[in-house]
Amino acid sequence: MPKLTAAELQTFLAGHFPHVDDVGFRVEQVAENFAQVRMIYHDDHLRPGGTISGPSLMMLADTAMYLAIMGMIGPVTMAVTTNLNINFLRKPKPADVIAHATLLKLGSRLVVGEVRMYSDGEAEPVAHATVTYSIPPLA
């Protein structure tokens, strides 16, 4: 069962990562081993050719996984990414991007998960990432 709600995660994110408001992330849903995070469309996310940039999608994947983890274990600010692998599947349209972060293994020190990202209104994912996080000892 999640320890934090979507609203609590949004407040946590804004309190510890104030630049997130500039990026435009919104926590939309939290469930068991899952978080849905929206990256609000902004021209700053575009690359030449009018598509959402790879770095923007990587930032969304990393943030969504972090929030899925925090939802399950509570606010452990020092959890860190140890690996992020991303596959770009199709050209994202210039629109909001929605990330579905799912925890595949939630251990006491290591978390492995996947993030599927979708252009708003589209059924097929634009990118897929696998992400591993290290959790510091909880003392």
For the stretch 32-77, pLDDT in tens is: 999 999 999 997 888 888 899 999 999 999 999 999 999 999 998 8
Q: What per-residue confidence (pLDDT) applies to 138?
A: 67
Structure tokens, 33: 């081993």
Average pLDDT over residues 100-109: 96
Give CA–CA dist 122/119, Å, rounded. 5
Domain spans of the chain, in order of start: 6-134
Which contacts of 25-29 are long-range, i.e. CB under 8 A and separated by 24 or more positions? 25/60, 25/63, 27/67, 28/98
Q: Which of 40, 16, 43, 42 is nearest to 27 (CA)?
A: 40
Q: How many C-beta neighbours within 10 Å does residue 29 have?
A: 14
| Amino acid (1-letter code) at residue 83 | N
Q: What is the mean pLDDT of the chain?
A: 93
Strand, coil or helix: 15: helix
Which residues partner with 39 through β-bridges?
A: 25, 97
Measured distance CA(72)–CA(65) in Å, rounded: 11
pLDDT at 74: 93
The single residue listed with the structure tokens 């929605």 is 98
What's the topology of domain 6-134? Thiol Ester Dehydrase; Chain A (3.10.129)
